[in-house]
A and B are shown apart, each in its own frame.
Chain A
Amino acid sequence: MKLKKNIATSESGFIFNPATGDSYSANPVGSDIILLMKDNKSIAEIKKNITSKYDVDDSQFDKDYDDLLAQLRDNNLLEH
Protein backbone atom coordinates (compact mmCIF):
# COMPACT_ATOMS: atom_id res chain seq x y z
CA MET A 1 0.00 0.00 0.00
CA LYS A 2 1.38 3.36 -0.98
CA LEU A 3 0.37 6.89 -0.25
CA LYS A 4 -0.81 8.86 -3.24
CA LYS A 5 2.13 10.72 -4.70
CA ASN A 6 0.61 14.16 -4.41
CA ILE A 7 -0.17 13.91 -0.69
CA ALA A 8 1.79 16.47 1.31
CA THR A 9 2.91 15.59 4.84
CA SER A 10 4.78 17.40 7.58
CA GLU A 11 6.72 16.14 10.58
CA SER A 12 4.15 17.69 12.88
CA GLY A 13 1.48 15.32 11.57
CA PHE A 14 -0.27 17.63 9.14
CA ILE A 15 -1.50 15.91 5.97
CA PHE A 16 -2.87 17.72 2.92
CA ASN A 17 -4.53 16.31 -0.16
CA PRO A 18 -4.21 18.96 -2.91
CA ALA A 19 -6.59 17.04 -5.16
CA THR A 20 -9.53 17.48 -2.80
CA GLY A 21 -8.39 20.31 -0.54
CA ASP A 22 -8.91 18.12 2.52
CA SER A 23 -6.44 18.33 5.38
CA TYR A 24 -5.86 15.96 8.26
CA SER A 25 -4.01 15.79 11.52
CA ALA A 26 -2.18 12.64 12.64
CA ASN A 27 -0.97 11.76 16.11
CA PRO A 28 2.81 11.16 16.54
CA VAL A 29 2.73 7.42 15.82
CA GLY A 30 0.46 7.97 12.83
CA SER A 31 2.67 10.77 11.61
CA ASP A 32 5.83 8.64 11.90
CA ILE A 33 4.25 5.78 9.94
CA ILE A 34 2.94 8.09 7.22
CA LEU A 35 6.36 9.74 6.81
CA LEU A 36 7.96 6.28 6.50
CA MET A 37 5.34 5.30 3.93
CA LYS A 38 6.08 8.53 2.08
CA ASP A 39 9.76 7.45 1.99
CA ASN A 40 8.62 4.17 0.37
CA LYS A 41 9.80 2.06 3.31
CA SER A 42 8.65 -1.54 3.36
CA ILE A 43 6.20 -2.79 5.97
CA ALA A 44 9.03 -4.64 7.70
CA GLU A 45 11.13 -1.48 7.88
CA ILE A 46 8.22 0.55 9.20
CA LYS A 47 7.48 -2.08 11.81
CA LYS A 48 11.10 -2.25 12.94
CA ASN A 49 11.32 1.52 13.16
CA ILE A 50 8.12 1.95 15.16
CA THR A 51 8.57 -0.99 17.54
CA SER A 52 12.09 0.15 18.37
CA LYS A 53 11.00 3.73 19.00
CA TYR A 54 7.69 3.10 20.83
CA ASP A 55 6.66 0.77 23.60
CA VAL A 56 4.53 -1.58 21.50
CA ASP A 57 4.71 -5.26 20.63
CA ASP A 58 4.61 -6.71 17.10
CA SER A 59 1.04 -8.00 17.20
CA GLN A 60 -0.37 -4.72 18.49
CA PHE A 61 1.55 -2.85 15.79
CA ASP A 62 0.26 -5.20 13.07
CA LYS A 63 -3.33 -4.66 14.15
CA ASP A 64 -2.98 -0.89 14.41
CA TYR A 65 -1.04 -0.63 11.14
CA ASP A 66 -3.88 -2.36 9.31
CA ASP A 67 -6.31 0.00 10.98
CA LEU A 68 -4.29 3.04 9.89
CA LEU A 69 -4.31 1.76 6.30
CA ALA A 70 -8.10 1.46 6.57
CA GLN A 71 -8.31 5.06 7.74
CA LEU A 72 -6.09 6.24 4.89
CA ARG A 73 -8.16 4.23 2.42
CA ASP A 74 -11.44 5.59 3.79
CA ASN A 75 -10.08 9.09 3.29
CA ASN A 76 -8.92 8.35 -0.24
CA LEU A 77 -5.24 8.90 0.56
CA LEU A 78 -3.91 5.58 -0.79
CA GLU A 79 -3.04 4.54 -4.33
CA HIS A 80 -5.57 2.14 -5.76
Chain B
Amino acid sequence: MAKLKYERPVIKKLNAGLMNKFGTRTEFEPVKHIDGVAVKSLIEKYGSPVFVISERQMRRNYQNAVRSFKTRYPKVQFAWSYKTNYINAVCNVFHQEGSWGEVVSGFEYNKALRNGVPGNKIIFNGPDKSEQDLRDAIKNDSLIHIDHFDELYSLISLCETINAKPRVAIRVNMDTGIYPMWDRFGFNYENGSAWNAIQKIIGSGKLRLVGLHSHIGTFMLAPSAYSVAASKLCDLMWHCKNQHNLQLQYIDLGGGFPSQNTLKGSYLPGTDTVPSIDEFAEAITTTILNFGFKTEELPLLILETGRALIDDAGYLLGSVLANKRLADGRRATIMDFGVNIMFTSFWYDHKISPAQDFTHHTEDQVVYGPLCMNIDCIRESVSLPLLNRGDHVVVHKVGAYNMTQWMQFIAMRPNVVMIDMEQTPHLIRRAEKLDDIVSLEEMPAYLKKIDLK
Protein backbone atom coordinates (compact mmCIF):
# COMPACT_ATOMS: atom_id res chain seq x y z
CA MET B 1 0.00 0.00 0.00
CA ALA B 2 1.32 3.43 -0.91
CA LYS B 3 2.33 5.58 1.98
CA LEU B 4 0.42 8.76 2.75
CA LYS B 5 1.90 12.16 1.88
CA TYR B 6 3.85 13.43 4.84
CA GLU B 7 3.47 16.84 6.36
CA ARG B 8 5.48 17.85 9.39
CA PRO B 9 3.43 17.65 12.62
CA VAL B 10 2.05 20.89 13.92
CA ILE B 11 -0.47 22.10 16.46
CA LYS B 12 -2.19 25.45 16.33
CA LYS B 13 -3.92 27.18 19.16
CA LEU B 14 -7.51 28.02 18.34
CA ASN B 15 -8.48 31.62 18.98
CA ALA B 16 -12.10 32.58 18.58
CA GLY B 17 -12.67 35.98 17.08
CA LEU B 18 -9.32 37.55 17.83
CA MET B 19 -6.97 38.90 15.20
CA ASN B 20 -3.29 38.17 15.53
CA LYS B 21 -0.33 40.03 14.08
CA PHE B 22 0.28 37.35 11.48
CA GLY B 23 -3.07 38.01 9.82
CA THR B 24 -5.27 35.37 8.33
CA ARG B 25 -4.34 32.62 5.97
CA THR B 26 -3.80 33.92 2.45
CA GLU B 27 -2.80 30.93 0.36
CA PHE B 28 -5.51 28.60 -0.87
CA GLU B 29 -4.06 27.18 -4.08
CA PRO B 30 -0.48 26.26 -4.96
CA VAL B 31 1.11 28.11 -7.88
CA LYS B 32 2.49 25.25 -9.95
CA HIS B 33 2.76 27.04 -13.29
CA ILE B 34 3.73 30.45 -14.58
CA ASP B 35 2.29 31.22 -18.00
CA GLY B 36 1.77 27.50 -18.55
CA VAL B 37 5.34 26.51 -17.68
CA ALA B 38 5.79 24.26 -14.64
CA VAL B 39 7.62 25.86 -11.73
CA LYS B 40 9.32 22.56 -11.06
CA SER B 41 10.71 22.34 -14.58
CA LEU B 42 11.94 25.94 -14.45
CA ILE B 43 13.84 25.23 -11.23
CA GLU B 44 15.21 21.97 -12.62
CA LYS B 45 16.52 23.72 -15.71
CA TYR B 46 17.59 27.11 -14.37
CA GLY B 47 18.30 26.39 -10.71
CA SER B 48 16.91 27.88 -7.53
CA PRO B 49 16.43 30.73 -6.94
CA VAL B 50 15.52 32.05 -10.37
CA PHE B 51 13.68 35.16 -11.54
CA VAL B 52 10.95 34.53 -14.08
CA ILE B 53 9.39 37.29 -16.18
CA SER B 54 6.16 36.92 -18.10
CA GLU B 55 6.36 38.66 -21.47
CA ARG B 56 2.64 38.20 -21.85
CA GLN B 57 1.93 40.11 -18.65
CA MET B 58 4.38 42.89 -19.58
CA ARG B 59 2.71 43.46 -22.93
CA ARG B 60 -0.74 43.25 -21.36
CA ASN B 61 0.22 45.86 -18.75
CA TYR B 62 1.70 48.18 -21.37
CA GLN B 63 -1.24 47.91 -23.74
CA ASN B 64 -3.67 48.46 -20.89
CA ALA B 65 -1.83 51.58 -19.72
CA VAL B 66 -1.60 52.99 -23.24
CA ARG B 67 -5.30 52.33 -23.78
CA SER B 68 -6.16 54.08 -20.52
CA PHE B 69 -4.41 57.26 -21.63
CA LYS B 70 -5.00 57.22 -25.39
CA THR B 71 -8.74 56.79 -25.04
CA ARG B 72 -8.75 60.00 -22.99
CA TYR B 73 -6.06 62.16 -24.60
CA PRO B 74 -4.87 62.50 -28.20
CA LYS B 75 -1.09 62.66 -27.81
CA VAL B 76 0.52 60.16 -25.44
CA GLN B 77 4.01 58.68 -25.36
CA PHE B 78 5.41 56.19 -22.87
CA ALA B 79 9.14 56.05 -22.11
CA TRP B 80 10.47 52.92 -20.44
CA SER B 81 12.11 53.69 -17.11
CA TYR B 82 15.41 51.86 -17.38
CA LYS B 83 16.17 51.95 -13.67
CA THR B 84 13.07 49.88 -12.94
CA ASN B 85 14.44 46.94 -14.90
CA TYR B 86 17.18 47.40 -17.46
CA ILE B 87 17.74 43.83 -18.56
CA ASN B 88 17.96 44.28 -22.32
CA ALA B 89 15.25 41.75 -23.19
CA VAL B 90 12.84 43.50 -20.82
CA CYS B 91 13.63 46.91 -22.30
CA ASN B 92 13.16 45.65 -25.84
CA VAL B 93 9.72 44.22 -25.12
CA PHE B 94 8.61 47.73 -24.20
CA HIS B 95 10.53 49.30 -27.10
CA GLN B 96 8.81 46.85 -29.46
CA GLU B 97 5.51 48.08 -28.05
CA GLY B 98 6.50 51.65 -28.94
CA SER B 99 8.03 52.91 -25.73
CA TRP B 100 10.90 55.41 -25.80
CA GLY B 101 13.75 55.08 -23.30
CA GLU B 102 14.03 57.06 -20.06
CA VAL B 103 17.45 56.93 -18.44
CA VAL B 104 19.12 58.51 -15.42
CA SER B 105 22.83 57.85 -15.98
CA GLY B 106 25.44 57.51 -18.67
CA PHE B 107 25.40 53.76 -18.09
CA GLU B 108 21.66 53.54 -18.75
CA TYR B 109 21.96 55.97 -21.68
CA ASN B 110 24.50 53.80 -23.44
CA LYS B 111 22.45 50.70 -22.67
CA ALA B 112 19.44 52.28 -24.39
CA LEU B 113 21.55 53.22 -27.43
CA ARG B 114 22.92 49.68 -27.62
CA ASN B 115 19.37 48.34 -27.50
CA GLY B 116 18.72 50.30 -30.68
CA VAL B 117 16.70 53.18 -29.25
CA PRO B 118 17.26 56.22 -31.50
CA GLY B 119 19.01 59.03 -29.63
CA ASN B 120 16.13 61.43 -30.22
CA LYS B 121 13.79 58.99 -28.44
CA ILE B 122 15.81 58.88 -25.23
CA ILE B 123 14.94 61.09 -22.28
CA PHE B 124 17.97 61.79 -20.11
CA ASN B 125 16.92 62.51 -16.51
CA GLY B 126 18.76 62.61 -13.23
CA PRO B 127 21.16 64.85 -11.33
CA ASP B 128 24.35 63.13 -12.53
CA LYS B 129 25.21 63.73 -16.17
CA SER B 130 28.92 63.99 -16.89
CA GLU B 131 30.23 66.35 -19.53
CA GLN B 132 30.71 63.36 -21.81
CA ASP B 133 27.12 62.26 -21.15
CA LEU B 134 25.92 65.74 -22.13
CA ARG B 135 28.07 65.75 -25.25
CA ASP B 136 26.66 62.37 -26.29
CA ALA B 137 23.10 63.46 -25.58
CA ILE B 138 23.58 66.66 -27.59
CA LYS B 139 25.15 64.77 -30.50
CA ASN B 140 22.27 62.26 -30.53
CA ASP B 141 19.56 64.92 -30.19
CA SER B 142 18.28 63.35 -26.99
CA LEU B 143 15.91 65.15 -24.63
CA ILE B 144 18.00 66.48 -21.75
CA HIS B 145 16.01 67.08 -18.59
CA ILE B 146 17.96 69.60 -16.51
CA ASP B 147 17.98 68.90 -12.79
CA HIS B 148 19.84 71.85 -11.21
CA PHE B 149 21.40 75.22 -11.98
CA ASP B 150 24.95 73.84 -12.03
CA GLU B 151 23.91 71.49 -14.80
CA LEU B 152 22.10 74.30 -16.60
CA TYR B 153 25.15 76.57 -16.56
CA SER B 154 27.56 73.82 -17.59
CA LEU B 155 25.24 72.88 -20.45
CA ILE B 156 25.10 76.50 -21.63
CA SER B 157 28.90 76.83 -21.55
CA LEU B 158 29.29 73.47 -23.29
CA CYS B 159 26.96 74.62 -26.07
CA GLU B 160 29.04 77.76 -26.52
CA THR B 161 32.09 75.61 -27.27
CA ILE B 162 30.50 73.10 -29.62
CA ASN B 163 27.99 75.35 -31.34
CA ALA B 164 24.96 73.18 -30.74
CA LYS B 165 21.44 73.94 -29.55
CA PRO B 166 20.13 70.86 -27.75
CA ARG B 167 16.53 70.10 -26.89
CA VAL B 168 16.02 70.45 -23.16
CA ALA B 169 13.33 70.42 -20.50
CA ILE B 170 13.55 71.25 -16.82
CA ARG B 171 12.49 69.01 -14.03
CA VAL B 172 10.04 70.79 -11.75
CA ASN B 173 9.33 69.83 -8.15
CA MET B 174 6.26 71.10 -6.38
CA ASP B 175 3.84 70.73 -3.53
CA THR B 176 1.14 68.31 -4.67
CA GLY B 177 -0.20 67.58 -1.20
CA ILE B 178 2.00 64.51 -0.85
CA TYR B 179 4.54 64.46 1.96
CA PRO B 180 7.44 64.19 2.21
CA MET B 181 7.70 66.39 -0.86
CA TRP B 182 10.30 65.30 -3.41
CA ASP B 183 12.09 68.64 -3.64
CA ARG B 184 15.61 67.33 -4.05
CA PHE B 185 15.19 66.84 -7.79
CA GLY B 186 14.70 69.68 -10.22
CA PHE B 187 13.59 73.29 -9.70
CA ASN B 188 10.87 74.26 -7.29
CA TYR B 189 7.60 75.62 -8.65
CA GLU B 190 6.32 77.48 -5.61
CA ASN B 191 9.44 79.52 -4.84
CA GLY B 192 9.91 80.64 -8.43
CA SER B 193 13.06 78.62 -9.04
CA ALA B 194 11.46 76.75 -11.96
CA TRP B 195 10.36 79.94 -13.67
CA ASN B 196 13.81 81.42 -13.05
CA ALA B 197 15.41 78.41 -14.77
CA ILE B 198 13.03 78.78 -17.71
CA GLN B 199 13.95 82.47 -18.07
CA LYS B 200 17.66 81.63 -17.99
CA ILE B 201 17.27 78.93 -20.65
CA ILE B 202 15.31 81.21 -22.93
CA GLY B 203 17.63 84.14 -22.21
CA SER B 204 20.76 82.14 -22.98
CA GLY B 205 19.72 81.51 -26.56
CA LYS B 206 21.85 78.38 -26.44
CA LEU B 207 19.20 75.81 -25.60
CA ARG B 208 15.84 74.87 -27.06
CA LEU B 209 13.31 74.53 -24.26
CA VAL B 210 10.82 71.97 -25.58
CA GLY B 211 9.14 70.52 -22.50
CA LEU B 212 8.53 70.37 -18.78
CA HIS B 213 9.06 67.40 -16.53
CA SER B 214 7.99 66.40 -13.04
CA HIS B 215 8.15 63.20 -11.07
CA ILE B 216 6.29 63.78 -7.85
CA GLY B 217 7.14 60.62 -5.95
CA THR B 218 7.04 56.87 -5.99
CA PHE B 219 4.27 54.36 -5.28
CA MET B 220 1.77 57.23 -5.31
CA LEU B 221 -1.64 56.19 -4.05
CA ALA B 222 -3.43 59.49 -4.75
CA PRO B 223 -4.36 60.23 -8.38
CA SER B 224 -5.30 63.75 -7.29
CA ALA B 225 -1.60 64.54 -6.70
CA TYR B 226 -0.97 64.03 -10.42
CA SER B 227 -3.81 66.36 -11.17
CA VAL B 228 -2.07 69.07 -9.11
CA ALA B 229 1.24 68.36 -10.84
CA ALA B 230 -0.31 68.50 -14.31
CA SER B 231 -2.02 71.76 -13.45
CA LYS B 232 1.23 73.40 -12.29
CA LEU B 233 3.15 72.24 -15.37
CA CYS B 234 0.33 73.53 -17.58
CA ASP B 235 0.58 76.86 -15.77
CA LEU B 236 4.30 77.11 -16.54
CA MET B 237 3.64 76.13 -20.14
CA TRP B 238 0.95 78.78 -20.38
CA HIS B 239 3.34 81.44 -19.10
CA CYS B 240 6.02 80.38 -21.59
CA LYS B 241 3.51 80.96 -24.36
CA ASN B 242 2.16 84.26 -23.05
CA GLN B 243 5.37 85.89 -21.89
CA HIS B 244 7.93 84.49 -24.32
CA ASN B 245 5.75 83.32 -27.20
CA LEU B 246 7.34 79.93 -26.72
CA GLN B 247 5.12 76.94 -27.50
CA LEU B 248 6.39 73.94 -25.53
CA GLN B 249 5.91 70.55 -27.12
CA TYR B 250 5.42 68.22 -24.19
CA ILE B 251 4.63 67.70 -20.55
CA ASP B 252 6.33 64.72 -18.92
CA LEU B 253 4.65 63.61 -15.71
CA GLY B 254 7.29 61.01 -14.92
CA GLY B 255 6.46 57.82 -13.11
CA GLY B 256 5.38 56.81 -9.64
CA PHE B 257 2.22 54.84 -10.40
CA PRO B 258 2.01 51.98 -7.88
CA SER B 259 1.86 48.27 -8.53
CA GLN B 260 -0.50 46.06 -6.55
CA ASN B 261 2.12 45.09 -4.01
CA THR B 262 1.30 45.58 -0.35
CA LEU B 263 3.38 48.19 1.45
CA LYS B 264 4.61 47.21 4.89
CA GLY B 265 2.28 48.52 7.57
CA SER B 266 -0.73 48.61 5.26
CA TYR B 267 -3.95 47.45 6.85
CA LEU B 268 -5.36 46.10 3.61
CA PRO B 269 -3.56 44.33 0.76
CA GLY B 270 -2.44 46.34 -2.25
CA THR B 271 -4.90 44.54 -4.50
CA ASP B 272 -7.70 46.20 -2.50
CA THR B 273 -6.23 49.68 -2.08
CA VAL B 274 -4.13 50.61 -5.10
CA PRO B 275 -5.96 52.83 -7.62
CA SER B 276 -6.17 51.54 -11.18
CA ILE B 277 -4.14 53.16 -13.95
CA ASP B 278 -7.45 54.45 -15.34
CA GLU B 279 -7.87 56.62 -12.27
CA PHE B 280 -4.45 58.21 -12.79
CA ALA B 281 -5.17 58.66 -16.49
CA GLU B 282 -8.49 60.33 -15.72
CA ALA B 283 -6.93 62.73 -13.20
CA ILE B 284 -4.06 63.75 -15.49
CA THR B 285 -5.83 64.03 -18.82
CA THR B 286 -8.87 65.82 -17.44
CA THR B 287 -6.62 68.47 -15.91
CA ILE B 288 -4.70 69.10 -19.13
CA LEU B 289 -7.79 69.06 -21.34
CA ASN B 290 -9.62 71.49 -19.06
CA PHE B 291 -6.70 73.89 -18.66
CA GLY B 292 -7.67 75.96 -21.64
CA PHE B 293 -5.21 75.08 -24.39
CA LYS B 294 -6.37 75.23 -28.00
CA THR B 295 -6.67 71.76 -29.49
CA GLU B 296 -3.64 72.25 -31.74
CA GLU B 297 -1.60 73.50 -28.77
CA LEU B 298 -2.22 70.51 -26.53
CA PRO B 299 1.16 69.19 -25.40
CA LEU B 300 2.38 65.67 -25.96
CA LEU B 301 1.87 63.82 -22.67
CA ILE B 302 4.90 61.69 -21.76
CA LEU B 303 4.78 59.06 -19.01
CA GLU B 304 7.77 57.26 -17.57
CA THR B 305 5.81 54.51 -15.89
CA GLY B 306 7.99 51.64 -14.71
CA ARG B 307 6.80 49.77 -11.65
CA ALA B 308 3.15 49.52 -12.72
CA LEU B 309 4.16 47.90 -16.02
CA ILE B 310 6.63 45.29 -14.84
CA ASP B 311 6.14 44.49 -11.15
CA ASP B 312 3.41 41.87 -11.51
CA ALA B 313 5.14 40.32 -14.53
CA GLY B 314 8.08 39.26 -12.35
CA TYR B 315 8.25 36.18 -10.12
CA LEU B 316 10.99 34.80 -7.96
CA LEU B 317 11.07 31.02 -7.65
CA GLY B 318 12.91 29.65 -4.66
CA SER B 319 13.24 26.71 -2.31
CA VAL B 320 13.08 26.04 1.40
CA LEU B 321 16.53 25.51 2.89
CA ALA B 322 15.49 24.77 6.45
CA ASN B 323 12.87 25.08 9.13
CA LYS B 324 13.63 26.05 12.68
CA ARG B 325 11.93 27.26 15.80
CA LEU B 326 12.98 30.54 17.36
CA ALA B 327 13.55 31.16 21.05
CA ASP B 328 10.07 32.60 21.48
CA GLY B 329 8.41 29.58 19.86
CA ARG B 330 7.81 31.17 16.47
CA ARG B 331 8.43 29.07 13.38
CA ALA B 332 11.17 30.31 11.06
CA THR B 333 11.52 29.22 7.45
CA ILE B 334 14.83 29.83 5.70
CA MET B 335 14.65 30.31 1.94
CA ASP B 336 17.45 30.19 -0.60
CA PHE B 337 16.75 33.81 -1.62
CA GLY B 338 17.27 36.85 0.57
CA VAL B 339 17.28 40.62 0.58
CA ASN B 340 20.39 40.53 -1.61
CA ILE B 341 18.24 39.67 -4.62
CA MET B 342 14.87 40.81 -3.26
CA PHE B 343 15.59 44.35 -2.23
CA THR B 344 11.92 45.26 -2.32
CA SER B 345 11.20 43.05 0.69
CA PHE B 346 12.45 46.01 2.74
CA TRP B 347 9.24 47.87 1.93
CA TYR B 348 6.73 45.31 0.63
CA ASP B 349 5.02 42.37 2.27
CA HIS B 350 5.50 40.16 -0.77
CA LYS B 351 2.96 37.44 -1.41
CA ILE B 352 4.57 34.00 -1.21
CA SER B 353 2.82 30.92 -2.59
CA PRO B 354 3.86 27.29 -2.23
CA ALA B 355 4.49 25.62 -5.59
CA GLN B 356 3.20 22.18 -4.58
CA ASP B 357 0.04 20.79 -3.04
CA PHE B 358 -0.54 21.48 0.63
CA THR B 359 -3.20 20.90 3.24
CA HIS B 360 -5.37 23.49 4.94
CA HIS B 361 -3.05 23.55 7.95
CA THR B 362 -0.96 26.67 8.31
CA GLU B 363 1.62 28.01 10.68
CA ASP B 364 2.51 31.56 11.65
CA GLN B 365 6.10 32.10 10.70
CA VAL B 366 8.99 34.38 9.91
CA VAL B 367 10.55 33.93 6.50
CA TYR B 368 14.29 34.51 6.37
CA GLY B 369 16.78 34.57 3.53
CA PRO B 370 20.03 32.56 3.43
CA LEU B 371 22.45 35.39 4.18
CA CYS B 372 24.49 35.30 7.35
CA MET B 373 23.09 38.72 8.23
CA ASN B 374 20.39 39.59 10.71
CA ILE B 375 18.70 42.02 8.32
CA ASP B 376 17.94 39.21 5.88
CA CYS B 377 14.23 38.88 6.57
CA ILE B 378 11.75 38.41 3.72
CA ARG B 379 8.51 38.40 5.75
CA GLU B 380 8.43 39.28 9.43
CA SER B 381 5.11 37.55 10.04
CA VAL B 382 3.04 35.51 7.66
CA SER B 383 0.68 32.60 7.90
CA LEU B 384 1.80 29.97 5.39
CA PRO B 385 1.09 26.30 4.76
CA LEU B 386 3.60 23.86 6.23
CA LEU B 387 6.70 23.88 4.08
CA ASN B 388 9.34 21.17 4.15
CA ARG B 389 12.99 21.43 3.25
CA GLY B 390 13.30 21.37 -0.53
CA ASP B 391 9.75 22.61 -1.17
CA HIS B 392 9.45 25.32 -3.81
CA VAL B 393 7.77 28.68 -3.44
CA VAL B 394 6.78 31.48 -5.80
CA VAL B 395 7.19 35.10 -4.72
CA HIS B 396 4.89 37.42 -6.62
CA LYS B 397 5.28 40.93 -8.04
CA VAL B 398 9.05 41.25 -7.98
CA GLY B 399 9.59 42.56 -11.52
CA ALA B 400 10.35 46.16 -10.54
CA TYR B 401 13.68 47.28 -9.07
CA ASN B 402 14.86 43.88 -7.83
CA MET B 403 16.83 43.11 -10.98
CA THR B 404 18.52 46.52 -10.85
CA GLN B 405 18.95 47.11 -7.13
CA TRP B 406 20.04 43.55 -6.34
CA MET B 407 23.38 43.15 -4.66
CA GLN B 408 26.24 40.83 -5.31
CA PHE B 409 26.59 40.26 -1.61
CA ILE B 410 27.77 36.95 -0.16
CA ALA B 411 26.18 35.01 -3.02
CA MET B 412 25.92 35.33 -6.79
CA ARG B 413 22.94 36.78 -8.57
CA PRO B 414 20.76 34.08 -10.16
CA ASN B 415 19.47 33.37 -13.65
CA VAL B 416 16.69 35.48 -15.08
CA VAL B 417 14.27 33.78 -17.45
CA MET B 418 11.58 35.28 -19.66
CA ILE B 419 8.59 33.21 -20.77
CA ASP B 420 7.58 34.36 -24.24
CA MET B 421 4.12 34.66 -25.76
CA GLU B 422 4.30 31.01 -26.92
CA GLN B 423 5.06 29.81 -23.39
CA THR B 424 8.71 29.11 -24.15
CA PRO B 425 11.25 30.11 -21.50
CA HIS B 426 14.39 32.00 -22.55
CA LEU B 427 17.42 32.73 -20.41
CA ILE B 428 17.80 36.53 -20.57
CA ARG B 429 20.53 36.98 -17.95
CA ARG B 430 22.71 34.13 -16.82
CA ALA B 431 23.66 33.57 -13.22
CA GLU B 432 26.91 35.13 -12.13
CA LYS B 433 29.98 32.97 -11.65
CA LEU B 434 32.92 33.42 -9.32
CA ASP B 435 35.09 34.36 -12.29
CA ASP B 436 32.72 37.22 -13.22
CA ILE B 437 33.35 38.84 -9.87
CA VAL B 438 37.00 37.96 -9.40
CA SER B 439 37.90 39.16 -12.89
CA LEU B 440 37.31 42.72 -11.70
CA GLU B 441 39.87 42.42 -8.89
CA GLU B 442 43.61 43.06 -8.99
CA MET B 443 46.08 41.42 -6.62
CA PRO B 444 49.21 43.40 -5.72
CA ALA B 445 52.27 41.24 -6.39
CA TYR B 446 53.40 41.19 -2.76
CA LEU B 447 50.05 39.68 -1.68
CA LYS B 448 49.96 36.88 -4.22
CA LYS B 449 51.76 34.36 -2.06
CA ILE B 450 50.33 33.11 1.21
CA ASP B 451 51.65 30.28 3.33
CA LEU B 452 49.44 28.82 6.02
CA LYS B 453 51.23 25.49 6.46
Chain A positions within 8 Å of B, measured between CB atoms, are 15, 22-30, 33-34, 52-56, 60, 64-65, 67-68, 70-72, 74-75
Contact = CB atoms under 8 A, between A and B. Distances in A.
B281 to A, nearest CB: 48
Contact of A53 (B4, B13, B14): B4
A72 B10 CA distance: 9
B8 interface: yes
List 8 A-B pairs, minimum CB-CB distance, nearest first: A30-B9, A56-B6, A27-B361, A54-B6, A55-B3, A74-B329, A68-B9, A64-B8
A44 B390 CA distance: 26
Interface of B: 3-14, 323, 325, 329, 359, 361, 386, 388-389
A30 B11 contact: yes
A29 B7 contact: yes
A24 B6 CA distance: 20
A27 B359 contact: yes
A24 B12 contact: yes
Contacts of B10: 26-27, 30, 68, 71
Given A67-B325, A74-B329, A28 B13 contact: no
Contacts of B3: 52-55
Point out which of A29, A56, A68 has the most chain B C-beta atoms below 10 A from its C-beta.
A29
A76 to B, nearest CB: 11
Point out which of B4, B8, B359, B361 has the most chain A C-beta atoms below 10 A from its C-beta.
B8
A75 B8 contact: no
A74 B328 CA distance: 9
Contacts of A71: 10-11, 325, 329
A29 B6 contact: yes
A21 B5 CA distance: 32
A64 B10 CA distance: 9
Contacts of B5: 54-55
A4 to B, nearest CB: 14
A55 B4 contact: yes
Contact of A70 (B7, B13, B325, B359): B325
23 contacts: A24-B12, A25-B11, A25-B12, A25-B361, A26-B12, A27-B10, A27-B386, A28-B7, A29-B9, A30-B11, A53-B4, A54-B3, A54-B5, A55-B4, A60-B8, A60-B389, A67-B325, A68-B10, A68-B11, A71-B10, A71-B11, A71-B325, A75-B13
